[in-house]
Chains A and B, each alone.
Chain A
């Protein structure tokens, strides 16, 4: 027999759990909205100023009614450039991460044994030993230098980490009882890899994916700084921050602050989305 008080408190508990669950979901939806809305805004909205137009008359202006986020050292409108950056920054980072996942995860899941597995890991180790930026610059130079090349270069650099993560998961789970059971009922190696191993490992892989996307944003900036990939005056958040740093000494914070905020907003959103997915999987596992 449950006492009335006991039942009420259990309701309260359930209510709190529900609210928590809801708030997590709402937050994740908002975060996903931001990630989608930013590049769409850059593409479809009419920006208040031309983001690519320098103006010697209005260099380094503080935020005002015409230039909402102020102007940078070349007199370009910081607000318009912050939004415009999303046009390339986000699709490039997300696409690069997606490609890295698609290449890296299957390789990792299957590179656990045999000569082929051995060979794959040699290549992965060799890649990991080189500085990321070197690989990116070289591959972009070899390929030409458009946005697709930047995507491929970043994907190439990021893929080895996915190979390693999924390989580690595959090796540790391969000896688990339920993987043995899956083999015993006649599952093919592909089915075992995806239905049983990947399904139990994608939390870590997902976290790596958000890190990779965030990392891609700074790689784009670094490439830009080296004069490859996204070419000035086309803006990217990373490049805007690089350029704006010199203005900080004179107390002109806005050229750095707004792109940095945008970057934080995006990285934060990615983390929230990853957290929500992980959380959902946990709940699925422990409740019904």
Chain B
């Protein structure tokens, strides 16, 4: 049974200027432990798809099933209680952190909301998770404004992982970061994937990142999936003209494998 299954998922935004079919009848499935890359140009509907998966946006039609659970059938309260298992990391790390809270408060909140552990246990868990994402205990009492972009994104990752979720949507988690920091964040994400057996939906507009990070890739164009398959096949022998144009338009500045380290054919960094 796939961990995530989308059937004919559709979201249409109706604005005074007309309607935008942001996600237009998408059917997809992701196996447990797999990393599905979603790639497409700006405005193709990638973020909307990510939000729909986690029901942060209500779809117009279609269905979302995660771990056998029909997400759209959940009541408000049930959905809130399930959220600890299905998490998201946003593109803009600073904007996604409440500026008034300390790092400790930010990473602890998912545990409080899910009623996991007492104060002491939560503290330990926050510390352990921060360490897992590469942040020392010194960061506990700092606030987001005093962290670098990379550190802020590590906090975002810690917040998503602290409740030990099974599925994590990564919405362009590195696109606002410098190249070197980007590589190091991706290494962290790959390590966490391996150690925790995580399933990722990795949204990106960067072909090179997807090539090395994802086992499967879906190419999105105007709200539709135009091509989906194992990353190697899709990127080496693209069938759809849109995918072909995406690939030929992408010229890597630095070979990704040089920055991140060696990779194998499953896209698992070592």
Contact = CB atoms under 8 A, between A and B. Distances in A.
Interface of A: 176-178, 180-188, 191, 195-196, 199-200, 281, 284-288
Interface of B: 54, 56, 80-84, 87-88, 90, 92, 95-101, 109-110, 113-114, 141-143, 145-146, 156, 159, 163
Given A181-B159, A285-B143, A288-B146, A187 B113 contact: yes
A136 B30 CA distance: 63
14 contacts: A176-B95, A177-B96, A178-B96, A181-B90, A181-B156, A182-B98, A184-B88, A185-B110, A185-B163, A186-B114, A187-B109, A200-B98, A288-B143, A288-B146
Contacts of B146: 286-288
A183 B96 contact: no
A95 B84 CA distance: 42
Nearest 8 CB-CB pairs, A to B? Answer: A186-B83, A177-B95, A185-B110, A177-B96, A186-B80, A178-B98, A181-B96, A186-B113
Nearest to B113: A186
A177 B90 CA distance: 8
A186 B143 contact: no
Contacts of B90: 177, 180-181
Contact of B98 (A196, A281, A288): A196
Nearest to A191: B113
Nearest to B85: A186
Contact of A285 (B81, B92, B145, B163): B145
Contacts, number: 73
Contact of A184 (B87, B100, B143): B87
A186 B78 CA distance: 10
Contacts of B83: 184-186
Nearest to A176: B95
A184 B141 CA distance: 23
A194 to B, nearest CB: 12
A186 B81 contact: yes
A185 B87 contact: yes
Given A177-B95, A200-B100, A186 B54 contact: no
A199 B87 contact: no
A284 B98 CA distance: 13
Which of A195, A284, A286 is the most central at the interface, judged by chain B CB atoms within 10 Å of its CB?
A195
A183 B99 contact: no
B80 A182 contact: no
B113 A180 contact: no
A17 to B, nearest CB: 16
A191 B101 CA distance: 14
Given A284-B143, A286-B145, A183 B100 contact: no
A8 to B, nearest CB: 25
B91 to A, nearest CB: 9
A286 B101 CA distance: 11
B159 A185 contact: yes
A288 B141 contact: yes
A185 B95 CA distance: 16
